[in-house]
Amino acid sequence: MSERPHLAAALALVGQPGSRQAIPTPAAVLDLDAFEANLALMAERARAAGLALRPHAKSHKSAWIARRQMEGGAVGVCCAKLAEAEALAAAGIGAILVTSPIAGQANAARAARLAGELQDFRIVVDHADGVAELAATGQAMQVLIDVDVGLGRTGVHSADQAADVARAILRHPRLRLLGVQGYGGHWQHMQGANARAAAVADGMARLSAAIAAIREAGGQVEVVTGGGTGTFAADMAQGVLTEVQPGSYAFMDREYRDALGADPDGAFRQALCVATTVISANHPKWVTVDAGLKALSTDGPAPVPATPGFETASFRFFGDEHGMLSRPEGRQVGRGERTDLVPGHIDPTIDRHDVLWLVRGDVLEGMIPVEGRGASQ
Amino acid sequence: MSERPHLAAALALVGQPGSRQAIPTPAAVLDLDAFEANLALMAERARAAGLALRPHAKSHKSAWIARRQMEGGAVGVCCAKLAEAEALAAAGIGAILVTSPIAGQANAARAARLAGELQDFRIVVDHADGVAELAATGQAMQVLIDVDVGLGRTGVHSADQAADVARAILRHPRLRLLGVQGYGGHWQHMQGANARAAAVADGMARLSAAIAAIREAGGQVEVVTGGGTGTFAADMAQGVLTEVQPGSYAFMDREYRDALGADPDGAFRQALCVATTVISANHPKWVTVDAGLKALSTDGPAPVPATPGFETASFRFFGDEHGMLSRPEGRQVGRGERTDLVPGHIDPTIDRHDVLWLVRGDVLEGMIPVEGRGASQ
């Protein structure tokens, strides 16, 4: 980042009152008070439920945050892809579960390298051919069987297939079957705790059937991992999971806020916003800010202004690099004014940023790299 | 990128037959034959129209591509933001126009630094306060007045305001007024050449009025810059612009293909695709590929499969890191198979990737960094 002198200029002000205003925008800004409260709350809920906590790093992609989570009692983190795991491993994170199946011998070799280097590396498989690819590396490896609990994205499709994959694993003495994964991504944003609980119950029944078939085939199932920020209460209540994988709780976003509302799962605070600056204010009805679809997710609901005085303003995307902010009622807004936006969907928003800026109140406390940004391979 | 060993593994195969298949996916893959044809076609059209060509680097964010464009006759490139310009400047690009106004003294200082270091740096302003900020740096600088031609995003809002800003510039001997910019982003994807031509005509009338007011105020207007891939034919026909700023033509995407169709502006070839791999094929109706909303733009139309044999398959986003590809008719698709996708919107798609892979036919020829990726500040 040597070509980005504006980062150094802001960092020179760390600790000074008002230094938050010096962060170059658009910027992903993490409110440490809210973030720490979110981490403590999830850790406490998992502890109270007797579940291992393995937060999903696809949300933050940051070794600093992974370390904070593990210092708070997390057993490790999840990564969505090998490259994300490689990035966090290079930054010192030693306990990683890769939650997507991989395909091909070149990728199996990458998994083997991680298994050889990390203290505790785990990866899911959902097909006997994937088992064969991992086994062909000759590397000792811990594996879990990914079970489709209704999403249809990855995972074995039936209890019979779960047993097939288990038998394939058991044929290879260097592969150790740890258990199963069942993740219902489609449940996370359902409106209402009851709807989410019913969906989770159906998925957990599928997962239980797969577990029974694997045990029948001679496999051990010590770990049952899954769940997310949206279904945490239901995940705990069902009693099937031994480990939960929430990610977004650390930051929150508009999509989760809309879905969770006043549910018990909605107690997490908005910890990450995208700070923006008004760069043009010539139009009578709106101003233009410097954050567009390269700085904020576009797949979820629209971002919403979070800064006091902007409650009546609404945001629309205005191309790659700009946003249209309607002029708030009863307030003049001019060039150079800053406003924070609550992202629609947090995970892809963070993936748009190389760094997160750490603030406490109005004081800049530091900057951390998003090591896994763009690491989708 | 030292933490990404898979990149080195693929690069070891450069020049070997079939090495394209070794690129780790999801990957932004540039077909050099199509890319070179697109560059040559746009350069020839600009030359024939007697217009300077200054391609917009917000599409590619790559110094290697900027250099190829300039070797083909471009006078320089455009950048959307200061950080994008800083990234390309650090990689050796010496002629850059920043096409968005900036706000604040810290950003004016960054512009001054670029003006002092680059061979030919230019930036737009759209308010007298912005002029004052640039002037306060004390650095000699070339500026253009950004004129709103109907988009309402940035730019002076009237001919009177254009004259005001011109007078503000003329008061500062170290600021040199080069001319004006008028960019109609909202015209670029209009369906049909006639509709685009009518919209451009209206915008060019506004631009001409601003030019007249600036000249009336004593300002010179040597450069009239604007235009894009979608309106290139109309831009040329109107006779107002002296310089054009197309960006997407180098790559193309589904959005431009849908809008331009068989128009003369539609002669550019699809040069960039996102290569994906099937990582799970357990479902009877679809397979899951490894590219999701962190690898492809989500703001435009859905990506479409480009690989022969997948013509009848359709793509849907399946979360952050995955895509759902319906099973094509008359063809089995299994784990590990690769297929290319035409992105919906090219600029934000490239911004999701750290590198572009260069191929000719089935042969990998190299990899280039996307230096400006994430540089929205």
Strand, helix or coil at B368? strand
Is the CA virtual torsion A117, A118, A119, A120 positive or negative? Answer: negative
C-beta pairs of A10-18 under 8 Å, 24+ apart in sequence: A10/A357, A10/A364, A10/A367, A11/A364, A11/A366, A11/A367, A13/A364, A14/A364, A14/A365, A14/A366, A15/A363, A15/A364, A15/A365, A16/A363, A16/A364, A17/A362, A17/A363, A18/A362, A18/A363
Residue B327: alpha-carbon gap to chain centroid? 33
- Enumerate residues 6+ apart whose C-beta is below 8 A from A327: A284, A285, A286, A287, A313, A333
A288 in B contact zone (CB under 8 Å): yes
B103 to A336: CB separation less than 8 angstroms, yes or no: yes
pLDDT band at A264 (very low <50, low <70, confident <90, very high): low
Residue B41 DSSP class? H
Question: What phi and psi values does residue B39 have, to the nearest 5 degrees?
Answer: -60, -45
A146 to A104, B293, B320, B371, B376: CA distances (angstroms):
17, 22, 18, 37, 38
Q: Could you identify the residue written with the tokens 């499969």?
A: B305
| B283 to chain A, closest Cα gap in Å | 7
pLDDT of B97 higher than 80: yes
Residue B270 pLDDT: 95
Helix axes A159-170, A193-216, angle to 10 degrees: 50
**What distance in Å separates the CA atoms of residue A19 and residue B202, rounded to the nearest whole number?**
45
- Enumerate residues 6+ apart whose C-beta is below 8 A from A117: A89
Question: In chain A, what residues touch B24 (CB-CB under 8 Å)?
Answer: 83, 106-107, 377
**Among the listed residues B278, B276, B277, B271, the one whose alpha carbon sits nearest the alpha carbon of residue B296:** B276
Mean per-residue pLDDT, A208-228: 97
pLDDT band at A238 (very low <50, low <70, confident <90, very high): confident
Per-residue pLDDT reduced to its tens digit, A33-59 = 999 999 999 999 999 999 999 999 999
ipTM of the modeled complex: 0.95
Task: Choose among B110, B318, B320: nearest Cβ to A80.
Answer: B320
Strand-pair partners of A62: none
Per-window interface: A 29-48 vs B, CB < 8 A: none
Helix (H) or strand (E) holding A277: strand A272-280
Question: What phi and psi values does residue B82 have, to the nearest 5 degrees?
Answer: -60, -45
A104 in B contact zone (CB under 8 Å): yes
**What distance in Å separates the CA atoms of residue B146 and residue A12, rounded to the nearest whole number?**
33
A155 in B contact zone (CB under 8 Å): yes
Per DSSP bridges, beta strands B223-226 and B243-244 are parallel
**A171 token code pair:** 């044929």
B369 in A contact zone (CB under 8 Å): no
**What distance in Å separates the CA atoms of residue A92 and residue A74, rounded to the nearest whole number?**
15
Question: In chain B, what residues touch A81 (CB-CB under 8 Å)?
Answer: 290, 321
- Enumerate residues 6+ apart whose C-beta is below 8 A from B215: B221
Per-residue pLDDT reduced to its tens digit, B282-331 = 999 999 999 999 999 999 899 999 999 998 999 999 999 999 999 999 89
Residue B56 DSSP class? B
Helix (H) or strand (E) holding A202: helix A193-216
B291 to A376: CB separation less than 8 angstroms, yes or no: yes
- Comparing B223 with B187, the larger pLDDT belongs to B223
B24 to A293: CB separation less than 8 angstroms, yes or no: no
Per-residue pLDDT reduced to its tens digit, A5-25 = 788 889 999 999 999 999 999
A281 to B320: CB separation less than 8 angstroms, yes or no: no
A21 in B contact zone (CB under 8 Å): no
Question: What phi and psi values does residue A260 have, to the nearest 5 degrees?
Answer: -90, -35
pLDDT band at A261 (very low <50, low <70, confident <90, very high): confident
Per-residue pLDDT reduced to its tens digit, A83-97 = 999 999 999 999 999
A369 in B contact zone (CB under 8 Å): no
The total number of residues shown for chain B amounts to: 377
Residue B316: alpha-carbon gap to chain centroid? 25
Q: How many CB pairs under 8 A join A and B?
A: 224
Per-window interface: B 222-241 vs A, CB < 8 A: none
B134 to A67, B86, B106, B138, B173: CA distances (angstroms):
43, 17, 10, 8, 12
Residue A327 DSSP class? P
pLDDT of B11 higher than 70: yes
Residue type, B368: I
**B124 token code pair:** 């737009």
Question: In chain B, what residues touch A126 (CB-CB under 8 Å)?
Answer: 280, 282
Residue B264 pLDDT: 66
From its phi and psi, is residue B138 left (phi > 0), alpha (psi between -120 and 50) or beta?
Answer: left
- Enumerate residues 6+ apart whose C-beta is below 8 A from B284: B327
Strand, helix or coil at B324? strand
- The average confidence (pLDDT) of chain A is 94
Task: Choose among A103, A113, A155: nearest Cβ to B335.
Answer: A103
Task: Choose among B103, B282, B320: nearest Cβ to A156.
Answer: B282
Strand, helix or coil at A183? coil
Per-residue pLDDT reduced to its tens digit, A114-141 = 999 999 999 999 999 999 999 999 999 9
A127 in B contact zone (CB under 8 Å): yes
| Nearest 10 degrees: Cα torsion A57, A58, A63, A68 | -40
Strand-pair partners of A272: A30
Residue type, A216: E
| B267 to chain A, closest Cα gap in Å | 24
pLDDT of A262 higher than 80: no
Is the CA virtual torsion A76, A79, A82, A85 positive or negative? Answer: negative
pLDDT of A3 higher than 80: no
Residue B240 pLDDT: 94
A336 in B contact zone (CB under 8 Å): yes
Contact A276, A291 (CB under 8 A): yes
Residue B2 pLDDT: 44
Q: Could you identify the residue written with the tokens 């760069």?
A: A279
Please provide the distance, in angstroms rounded to a whole number, between the alpha carbons at the two ends of chain B. 22
pLDDT band at B230 (very low <50, low <70, confident <90, very high): confident
B332 in A contact zone (CB under 8 Å): no
**What distance in Å separates the CA atoms of residue B89 and residue B96, rounded to the nearest whole number?**
8
